[in-house]
Chain A
């Protein structure tokens, strides 16, 4: 039952992402991406990480994508761009990369080892926070420095001149 659900959700995720990168209108792309984030959140839930699932919905699908929507609507980028269709010759690097990826996945699938699929054991908020702030405490500090300087850089570059 869980396996079936997983495959359905992954199909939705992949399809949503594919549509997001091929959509001509930015707003549509964002809605597709939100769809794929929701499916991804459910996958996290099945894997036993309800907190990550909640964050995926609240932060990614909620906050970040809404911010994107606002920016796009403010800049009035809603109308589709008039880009020329890619010529046949422009496709070959993508095709080669696609074949390489498909080939590697086939090799991995062929050398298949018994998948480790433990039953559903949800990680509680307490366990999650303990791991986050003790085992990966340094990573949290590093990323907060990085976010601070992202802000500094954005303010510096966005300054009116």
Chain B
């Protein structure tokens, strides 16, 4: 253990220590300074990770700063920082007081930083469960709304069952391979039958985390009940970390042959049912929940191919999806006053009365629909390209058709924003923090749509 090892673990130390500092100093400081301190903590952890050279040998027993961690940690930190920027004003309007909120976000970020660094099954499982734990608390944070508590309870109950499945899966993989270390556990040299049973259990648990179709029932209720900035963080970083867990478990090699059928079914059902159900929604948060189910179906399609290209597409899409959903939920959070603005019809005419937020929401919808020159197009393009190259022609065609159908409900929001008039009073001007976060997210969406090459180089480096 050297100083360099400690340096490479600094993102975990910064976020973990930061969560504790915020918790301790929160009562002494103003809410505004607590928010800014948390943003600075998550930003500095991200910058540190981005500029630290990755190492393949474990720094401490159980953790290593891998190239994948170097890619994912800045992404998670960015999304946590943007979430915190969105939440400050939103929480003030809603009376969500106290330092628990930023501290719990930082704790979730701590677990997310730990997850890609894990080199044994135990740390991997604990990191995954800590992320879920942070979200159980965050979803129920709004004590003034009954839905928030209900959503938290639903998430907790379903999450506990999913955690049991994942834990049992990891235990079976351990039983089959005889080692907790990831490198040994995945060599599949032990009892193949037990290992594949373990993989089946893990897939069930991950299907819940990614909200793939038979395990998706919690998603709409939780997104609707959770405060909008929490939904932003939940729909992006928690999903990306679950996908990252699968990538770490697979170690960038093709999945076991037995896993093809379940992954195929999950991907097919999620893409079709997610998009069809989203067509019927009149509540924008529920619509985005079903859309996220469909998007995770696309992600599974790329995972299914088992090729390097497919995995690169997963990472690329994870980053792009983070930007798109942060922009969408951020705009919703910023436009919500003391009541949640959750019906799509409530957004009529907002493109004119609130140009920045309306514009960002419209941009996010166009990106989610996959319309060029937004980043959403690049992401979908690489998913389907890798699927076709990987031999999943049927599923890719079904995915493309369902993605085309999805344009209807995304564009419906844009139509409401710009083609309907409303006599409602214009919303209050955007606070500086929220404008900053919204501009950041939309720059990311547009920048990556026009110049995707830098991100693709980073993704390529992350897979080494």
The verdict on A58 contacting chain B, using a C-beta distance below 8 Å, is no
Given that A146-B130, A152-B137, A161-B143 are known contacts, is A111 also in contact with B107, CB under 8 Å in the complex?
Answer: no
Shortest CB distance A45–B (Å): 19
**Nearest chain A CB to B127 CB, angstrom units:** 6
Contact of A142 (CB < 8 Å), options: B111, B140, B141? B111
Q: How far is the CA of A137 from the CA of B20 in the complex (A)?
A: 19
The answer to whether A149 and B191 touch (CB under 8 A), given A108-B197, A138-B61, A142-B123, is no
- A156 CB to closest chain B CB (Å) equals 5
CB distance from B459 to the nearest CB of A (A): 27
**How many chain A residues have a CB neighbour from B under 8 Å?**
25
Which residues, 30 to 67 on B, are CB-close (under 8 Å) to A?
60-63
Contacts of B137 in A (CB 8 A): 149, 152-153, 156-157
CB neighbours of B107 from chain A (8 A): 145, 149
**In angstroms, how far is the closest chain A Cβ from the Cβ of B111?**
7
Knowing A111-B193, A152-B104 touch, does A146 contact B61 (C-beta < 8 A)? no
Q: In whole Å, how far is A80's beta carbon from the nearest beta carbon of chain B?
A: 21
Q: Tell yes or no: B377 within 8 A of A by CB.
A: no
**A146–B127 alpha-carbon span in the complex (Å):** 9
Q: With a CB–CB cut-off of 8 A, which chain A residues contact B63?
A: 138
Contact (A136, B193) CB under 8 Å given A142-B114, A146-B129: no
User: How far, in Å, is B14 (CB) from chain A's closest CB?
Assistant: 13
Q: Is the interface of A mostly helix, strand, loop or mixed?
A: helix
Contact B62 A152 (CB under 8 A): no
CB pair B62 A135 closer than 8 Å: yes
Which chain B residues (174-210) contact chain A, with CB distance < 8 Å? Answer: 191, 193-194, 197
A25 within 8 A of B: no
A14 at the interface (CB under 8 A from B): no
Q: For the complex, is A129 an interface residue (Cβ under 8 Å from B)?
A: no
The docked-state distance in angstroms from the alpha carbon of A50 to that of B135 is 36
Q: Which residues of B lie under 8 Å from residue A136 when comparing CB positions?
A: 61-62, 120, 122-123
Q: Are B136 and A153 in contact (CB under 8 A)?
A: yes
In the bound assembly, the distance between CA atoms of A149 and B136 in angstroms comes to 11
Q: Does A150 contact B (CB under 8 A)?
A: yes
Complex: A63 Cα to B111 Cα, angstroms = 28
Q: Output the least CB separation between B103 and chain A (Å).
A: 7
Within 8 A of B (CB), among A108-151: 108, 111, 113, 134-139, 141-143, 145-146, 148-150
Residues of B within 8 A of A159 (CB): 143
Question: Of the candidates A113, A139, A148, A156, which one forms a contact with B62 in the assembled complex, judged by CB atoms under 8 Å apart?
Answer: A139
Report the nearest A residue to B16, measured CB to CB.
Answer: A145
- Could you tell me which residues of chain B, from 185 to 243, have a CB within 8 Å of some CB in chain A? 191, 193-194, 197
A108 and B193 form a contact (CB under 8 A): yes
A112–B254 CA distance with the chains assembled, in angstroms: 26
A83 to B129, CA, bound (A): 32
Q: How far is the CB of A152 from chain B (nearest CB, A)?
A: 6
Closest Cβ neighbor of B129 among chain A residues:
A146
Provide the bound-state CA to CA distance between A156 and B101, in Å. Answer: 10
**Which residue of chain B has its CB nearest to the CB of A131?**
B61
Whether the pair B126, A139 counts as a contact (CB closer than 8 A) is yes
Measured CB to CB, the closest approach of chain B to A118, in angstroms, equals 12
- B108 (CB) vs chain A CBs: closest residue: A149
Closest residue of chain B to A150 (Cβ to Cβ) is: B133
Q: Does A88 contact B (CB under 8 A)?
A: no
Whether, in the assembled complex, B110 has its beta carbon less than 8 Å from a beta carbon of chain A, the answer is yes
Mask, B331-342, CB within 8 Å of A = 1, is 000000000000
Chain B contacts of A137 at CB under 8 A?
Answer: 60-62
| Smallest Cβ-Cβ distance to B141: which chain A residue | A156
Known: A139-B123, A149-B137. 15 other contacts (CB 8 A): A107-B193, A136-B120, A138-B60, A138-B61, A138-B114, A138-B123, A139-B126, A142-B130, A143-B126, A145-B110, A146-B126, A149-B19, A149-B103, A149-B107, A153-B140
Closest A-B pairs by Cβ, 3 of them: A153-B137, A138-B62, A142-B126
**A-contacting residues of B (Cβ < 8 Å)?**
16, 19-20, 23, 60-63, 98, 100, 103-104, 107, 110-111, 114, 120, 122-123, 126-127, 129-130, 133-134, 136-137, 140-141, 143, 149, 191, 193-194, 197
A-B contact pairs, 8 of them (CB 8 A): A107-B193, A136-B62, A137-B60, A139-B122, A142-B126, A142-B127, A149-B104, A152-B100
